[in-house]
Structure formats: C-alpha cells, structure tokens
Structure 1
Amino acid sequence: MRSFLTALQFLTRIHVVRQDNLTIEDFGRSVRCFPLVGLVLGVLSFLVGLCFVNFVGPSYLTAAVLVLLPIVLTGGIHCDGFMDAADGLFSGRERARMLEIMKDSRVGSFGAVAFGCSLLLDFALVLDLGQAPTILLIAVFLAPVLGRAAMVLAVACFPYARPEGLGKMFHDLAGRGAALSAIIVAAAVAAPWGAGALLVLVCALGGAWLFDRWAAGKLGGLTGDVYGATEKLTETLVLAAFWVLLHVPQAQMLLGGWHF
C-alpha cells in the first residue's frame, strides 16, 4: 500500500495521506504501481465521461473536458516531460546538447508546437470517438492505464541517459520484474473489454516501445522527460487505435457489444 500511495502522490494531485519521509527506495519500489495509478485515473475519466455523455451528449464540451481532465488530475507532469523531450529530441543538436536543452525548465518552440499539436489531435480523436459513446468511454478508461504501463517498460527496459537525476532512481530500483508486472496489469484491465481492447494494448505499447528505442538511440538512454513523453504519446496512441477500429468495417467486430 505504501508503494501505491507513493506512486499516486508522485504522479497525480490526489494525495490520500501525508507522506513526508519518503526515501529513494520508496520511489523505486513505487514503479510497479504506476499502472494502478493509471487505473484510478481511468476510473475517474470513465465516470466523468459517463456523466457528460448522458447529460450533455457527445459534444465539443465533452471532448474538451475529457482531454483536460487528465491534465488537471496529474498537474500536467507528463505534459511537462513531453514538451521538454520534444525540445531536445527535435533540436537537431548533438547528444550532450540535447540533454542540456531537456534539462532547461523553460519551454522552447519545439515543445510548445508539439504539445499544441498533441492536444489538438487528442481533442479531434475524442470528438470523433463520441460517435460511439461506449467506445469513447472504454478508450478514456484504458488510456491512462496503458500510458503508465508504457512508462514502466521505459523505466525498466532502457538505460538511463544521465549519471544522476530523478528518473535514475526509478530505473535503478525498478527491476525487470516491474515490466512484466506492468504488462500483466495492463492486459488484465484490457481483457474484459474484448479482443479490440487487447489489440489496442499491443499497438499502443508497441508504438511506445518504438518511440523509446528511437529516443534512446539519440540520447544514449532515456530520461525522466522521455518517460513523461512516453506516457503522453501512449495515451494518444490508445485513442488513435480505437479510432481506427471504429472506422475500419472489418475491425468493428473486435469492439464487442458493450453498452452504457
């Protein structure tokens, strides 16, 4: 329970209990609980989405709320990493300079443009998925779970690019078992929604893995900013994968018969 509460406090604005004496080991052990934090966020997004779908209907307002809600619940921690990673990775500089740019707390033009494009794409995908409200609700439920499972894979399976840093303590203490645990939790959460959800899981985690390999090749490893970018990118991939399933007639049979 301590590890879960540590992960919840670190990744979100939801602070159930006060934890003042956390150690490096506490943070390291909390990595395994990242997908469970995603499950909490997914349930909240599902419930808010259910209310808006039933009382407001699929609309621009519903789409905006569902896109902004995860940012409010997390304090935008992953968005910050996404922007910093974009500034560094797209700078076209050498490795050392990329890492220096990513460490700068200021947001550059690449980060601002990339984040704006990401928000616009998320909004469009959520708005389109509103044509099938049940699929929309499943998508916003699964996105944070798979996003944080992808983070665990990035933490556990790729080297850390810097000799020190906040992300390094996660990498050093997570262990390979954390990756297997994340996959099991993600599969267990996705499986009840049918074959389509499992296919989305494979596509989203596979896409995140390819992004991490590309980033690690440029940086000589990953950083905390790339972990955040991985989470943000994976959530978008989940929405995009459900959009494809919804709009490809041959794939619609995989979506199941859920109705809310």
Structure 2
Amino acid sequence: MFQQLFNDFITGLQFLTRIRLVTQVDCSQDSFRRSVKFFPIIGCLIGLLLSGIIYGLQLLGSGKIPSHVMACSLILIEILLTGALHCDGFMDTMDGIFSGRSRERILEIMKDSRVGSFGVIAFCLFALMKYSFILDMDSSLLALAFLVMPIVGRLAIVMAVTLFPYARREGLGKSFSYHADRRTLYIAGLCAGVILALLGRLALLSSLFGLIFAYIFAEYVNKRLEGLTGDIYGAVNELTELAVLFVFTCS
C-alpha cells in the first residue's frame, strides 16, 4: 500500500516538475489518476523550494539584490522548476480561445505544437503582470506568497479535472479527467486546506479568491468547448497563481 502511494506521488511529482527522484516508476493511467490527489502536496514542495530561495536571497543579499533582478529570477526559476509545462498549456489555450473559431477548430489550434500570436501576446502580458505584482508586493510577504501560490494553483487543477468533463476523445489529460472523481477533490482539498490554514488568514483569503477565479475561467471555457483539456489545466494553474499574487500585492 505504501509503495503504491509512493509510486503515485512520484508519478505526479515527475510529471508536474523537472525533479527526478527515480528513473523508473509506474506511469499507467491508474497511477496518473491516483496521483491527482497529491497535486496540492506537490505544489507545497514547489512552494517550499521557491520560498526557501527567496528567504535565502533576502537573508544573504541583505536587501542589496535589486528588486527587478529578484522578480525576473523568481519567474525564471519557477519556469525551470516546472519545465514550462503550465506555460505551454496557457499559451496553447490562449491561441485557441482568442481565435474566434468553432469548437472543433479551437481544439485543433490548441493541439498544434506551434505557438501563435495570441499565445505569445497573452504570455508576455501574463509574465509582465506577474513581474509587476512581485515588484509591488511587500517584500516581507514574498516568501509566503510563493509558498501559497503553487499549492492553490495545483488545487485548482484538481478542481478543473474533477468538476468538468474532458473535451477530447483522447489525450494525456484524459488520464486524469476520466479516472479522477469527487473523492480525489475532497482528499486534495483537505490536504491543501490544512496546509493553508496553518499559513494564516491571508493565505486562506488569497486561496479563496484564486479558486473562485479558476472556477469562473474553467466554466467559461467549458461552455465554449463542452469540456476542458490538458492545456486548459495548465492555463487554470497559471491564472490561479496570478490571482493569488494579486491578493498578496493588494493586501
């Protein structure tokens, strides 16, 4: 039992990040399904790494590291840590959604490995907004924000996976959507809720705002495409993280 849980956790960790702990792991559809409940915990590990880097830079730099360098570095480190997985999904989603085409054509555009102008423009604006939020945020909240942000982002993915149908007949994301159920959401929500409650009121407030924003976006896309895809899961994560940062910046 413990070995299966460990394998499922590793499946999720090595899919969502570039962290490699083992060379071989059970990557069956059942393992992908079971790994979904670990997404917020994986997000917590990502957050601990990011907040640890922030704390180290602030401690060692003693305020001498320029804020612009800090902001750019954090965005770059997060992208490297996740292998730009969610960024790719975000760009593909924006290419499709803003194309103004039919459902079938939108899905075709999103499946195309090439990035279009809408995706590039959207990602540039997204990165600019994240950069601005980091600069404008109280530096004492930065480590906490980057701890909370990936937890809520991955919980939003679980919400998207379990609450909405899958738009395609096949695809990697279907391994998550087809097999995961409400029980998965309850487990993931409980794990995330306990962690976030320990982090304080601002963590809970930003989480609530981020999840509401994620649900509204997912519902909008679901109405247009009659379901979600793996790319949209990535977009949900990125937009949720941005919403969390917005709350921390405005607090």
Alignment coverage as a number of residue pairs: 243
- The structural deviation recorded for 1:20 is 5.0
The amino acid across from 1:60 in the alignment is H
Say which SS state the counterpart of residue 207 (structure 1) adopts: helix
Q: 2:51 aligns with which of 46, 53, 56?
A: 46
Q: In the alignment, what sits opposite 2:119?
A: 111
* 1:97-108 map, 5 Å: 97-108=105-116
Q: In the alignment, what sits opposite 2:148?
A: 142
Q: 1:205 aligns with which of 181, 203, 211?
A: 211
Q: In the alignment, what sits opposite 2:131?
A: 123
RMSD: 1.1
Q: Does 1:33 align with 2:38?
A: yes
Deviation track 1:123-148 (CA, whole Å, cap 9, x = no partner) reads 1101111xx22211110111011100
Q: More deviation in 150-159 or 132-141? A: 132-141
Query: Equivalents in 2 of 1:195, 1:42: separation in Å?
Result: 18
Q: Are the aligned partners of 1:208 and 1:230 in contact in 2 as well (CA < 8 Å)?
A: yes
Query: Equivalents in 2 of 1:20, 1:144: separation in Å?
Result: 24
Q: Does 1:189 align with 2:192?
A: no
Q: Are the aligned partners of 2:8 and 2:35 in contact in 1 as well (CA < 8 Å)?
A: yes
Name the CA shift for 1:125/1:164 in 2 (closer, same or farther; >3 Å). same
Q: Are the aligned partners of 2:18 and 2:81 in contact in 1 as well (CA < 8 Å)?
A: yes
Query: Equivalents in 2 of 1:21, 1:176: separation in Å?
Result: 23
Q: In the alignment, what sits opposite 1:225?
A: 231
Unaligned 5+ segments in structure 2 are 1-5
- The structural deviation recorded for 1:160 is 0.4
Unaligned 5+ segments in structure 1 are 246-260
Q: Structure 1 length normalisation: TM-score?
A: 0.91
- The structural deviation recorded for 1:191 is 1.1
- The structural deviation recorded for 1:24 is 1.2
The amino acid across from 2:143 in the alignment is L
Q: Does 1:18 align with 2:23?
A: yes
Q: 1:65 aligns with which of 60, 73, 81?
A: 73
Q: Structure 2 length normalisation: TM-score?
A: 0.94
Q: 1:92 aligns with which of 97, 100, 113?
A: 100
- The structural deviation recorded for 1:15 is 0.8
- The structural deviation recorded for 1:21 is 4.4
- The structural deviation recorded for 1:54 is 2.1
Deviation track 1:174-209 (CA, whole Å, cap 9, x = no partner) reads 111111222222221211222221111110011001
Query: Equivalents in 2 of 1:231, 1:78: separation in Å?
Result: 7
The amino acid across from 2:92 in the alignment is D
- The structural deviation recorded for 1:55 is 2.7
Query: Equivalents in 1 of 2:200, 2:45: separation in Å?
Result: 21
